[in-house]
Structure 1
Amino acid sequence: MPQNSNGKQVTVQTASKEYSVFLGKGAIEQLPKLLESFQKKPSKLLIVTDDLVADLYLSNIVSSLTQNFSVHSYVLPNGEEAKSFDNYYAIQTFALENGLDRHSVIIALGGGVVGDIAGFVASTFMRGIKFIQIPTTLLAHDSAVGGKVAINHPLGKNMIGSFYQPEAVIYDVDFLISLPEKEMRSGFAEVVKHSLIWDDEFYQWIRENIKSLDDLTEDRLLVCLENGIKIKAEVVSNDEKETGLRAILNFGHTLGHALEAAYGYGKVTHGDGVALGMLFATRLSEKLNPELELSTDLSEAWERYGFPTKIRSSVSPEELLGWMKKDKKTQNSHIHMVLIQSVGNVGLRSVPDELILETLQEFY
C-alpha cells in the first residue's frame, strides 16, 4: 500500500477485508498511486459525485487520472433525495452503457449520500466490483468507514442496502474548507457521538477544546477525524455486520432518523437529527439510571454548537413513535434503543412506548 507522506493512515480490519484510511492535507494525491497498486489494473473508472462537489473538485480529479485510466463521471443532484431506486438504476445503466466490467472501479466522491448509493451500486454491479470512498464532508467520516451502503425507500431510510467494504478511504481535509457551517455542524454531531459511546477522554478533550464550531481549526479537525475514524474502525472490526456491538453506533439515530422522516427528508440535517436524538436518549437513560447526570451538560453544549434541543411542533409524539418503530433495531414492534450508562459505556435496551412518549413530551 502506498504511504501517506503528509498525513495519517488508519487501518480498518474487518472479517471480510482490511483497508486503509488516508487522512490529511493533500491526501487525494494517493488516488492514482492506489489505483496503480491494484493487482489488476482497473479497466475503467466511474466517478459518482453530486452537482455541488462536481463544480468544486471533479475536473481536477478527472485530469489527475485520464493519463493512465479511462474515466467516466456520473453526477447526481445534491441531497438525501438522490438516494433513490431510480438513481441507483440509472447509475447501473450508465455503467453498462459505458462498458464497465468486473475489473472496473467505482469512486464515490462526495458526502454520505454519494458514498451510500455509489457503494451500493458497486456492491451489486456484476455481483460486486471494487470501490473507493473519497469523502468531502465532515459527516462522511462516519459513513465512509465501515462498509454500510444503501438507498432509501419511501417507507424508511437505508432500508435497501448491504455491507460492502471499500478498497480504501481517502480523506483530504482540504475538501472540508468549502463546507457551509450547517454541514460542519451536521458532521460534528457524529464526532461527539463517537466520543460519547466509546471514549471519555476524547469527550473531555472536545469539551475543553471545542466550545463552538469556530474552534474547529484544521489541527483540531484532524484530531476529531482521526479519533472518530479510529473509534468507528474498532467497533466495525469487532462486528462488521451489526449482529451486536456495532449497534452502539446508532446512538441518537432512533429518534434522529424518525425526525428526518417526519419532518421530510432534507428538512433537517442528519447531524441535527442525531444530536437531538442523543439528547433524547440521554434523558431517557437518566430516567432508567438515576446516577447518570449528563443531559444538562449536553444541553448547554448543544446551545453553543447550534444543535436543536426542541422538537418542532408540526410533528406529534405519536407520529414520531410510529417512525421510531420502523427502526431496524425494532423487534416484535418493541423499540430497542442505544442508551448510555456513562460516557464511553452504552448498550441496547428495550424501551416501553409509554416512557418514550412521556420523554418526547419534554422536548416540545
Structure 2
Amino acid sequence: MLINSGQPPSNMTVDICFCLDCTGSMSRWLSAAKDQMKSIIEGINKLIEKEYPSLKLQLRFAIVGYRDIGDRPQFFTQDFTDKTNQVITFLNTLTASGGGDLPEDVLGALDRCLTLTNWSNTNARFIVLITDAPGHGPELNNNLSIDRHPQGAGTHTVNSICDRLLKKDAEIDLMFCRIKPKATAKMEKAFQTHYDAQKDETGKVFTTIQLFDDKQQETQSFHFVFVLDESGSMTGEWNSLQSAYVAFLTRRNDDQGGDDHFTVVQFDSNARIICQQQSLANTPRSLSMNGGGTDYCQGLNKAGQAIAADHTSSVLFRMTRPKIESIAMREKKNQRM
C-alpha cells in the first residue's frame, strides 16, 4: 500500500501503529502474529530502500496491546520510535489472557492509538489492527447474546472513531489483519463503509488482510478429552476432582476458548461418554459418579474411540489416574497430542 502509492518525495516519515489484541482467545495466534509483525518491522525499511534507493526514510513504529473492559491493565503501550530493537523488545513482553466474552473493546483500543502523543505531521500514517474478535455492541457484533456490553462500550462509536481517523490533514490509513472473517465480518463492513464514503476526499483506504489460512486455523483448534475415574475408590476425592474440572472449564471460558471442543469420559469397571466434541458452552459442569470397580482399559479405550472420531490436528488428553502411556504413545505417533 505504501510503496505502490506513486513516486514518493525525497524525504519521508512513515508512522505505523500496531493495534494488537492481547486477550485470551489470541493465545493460539499471538506467537505467529508477533512473527509477522517482526517481519514487517525489520523488513519494510529494506523493501522500501530497494524500491526507492534515493528516498531518505524515517520509519517509526508504535504498539498498543489491548485487552477487554475490566481487565487490569487493559492497555500496553509503546509510543512511536524509530528504534526497532526497542519496539521488538516491547512486543516480546506481550502475552494473551483475559477477555471473558468474545467481543473486545476494539473502539477503545483505536482511541488509545489515536491519542498517542507523538504522531508525526506526515501524510503516511497507518494503524494496523490485528484481532480475532469484533468490537462490542450492535454496530460491530452480530451475536449480542455473547456480548457483555451489547449496547457498546463507553462513549466511542464507529462514527466518532472514523471521524478522528479521517480528520482533515491528519488522516490515517486503517489496515485490518483479520483472523476469523466470519466473527469480524460486521465490524469489517462498518469500517469499510466509512472509509469508502470519504475516499475521494481523504485519499485514505481501509484494507483487509487474511492473516492465517484455513489450514492454519484448523491447527489452532483444541479438542480436550477428559477421562475421569468414577470408581468407588474415588468417593473421597470426587468433589475435589469435579472442582478441578470445573475450574479448568472456567479458565478456558475466561481465556475465550469458544472454539474449543470437549469430550468427557467417565469410567469404573465400565466406561461411558458423558459428552463428545461439545462446545465449551454445552459441556456439562456437574458430573455424577457411579462408584463401581476400576478398569483403566475401559476408560482408555473409550477415549481412544472419541479421539479416533476427531479429525482436528490438536487433541489434549487429561486423565485422573497415571496409567495413560498406551493411548498417549499411540496418539503422539499421530502428532495430535
Assess same fold via TM > 0.5. Answer: no
Structure 2 length as normaliser, TM-score? 0.34
- Which structure has greater helix proportion? 1
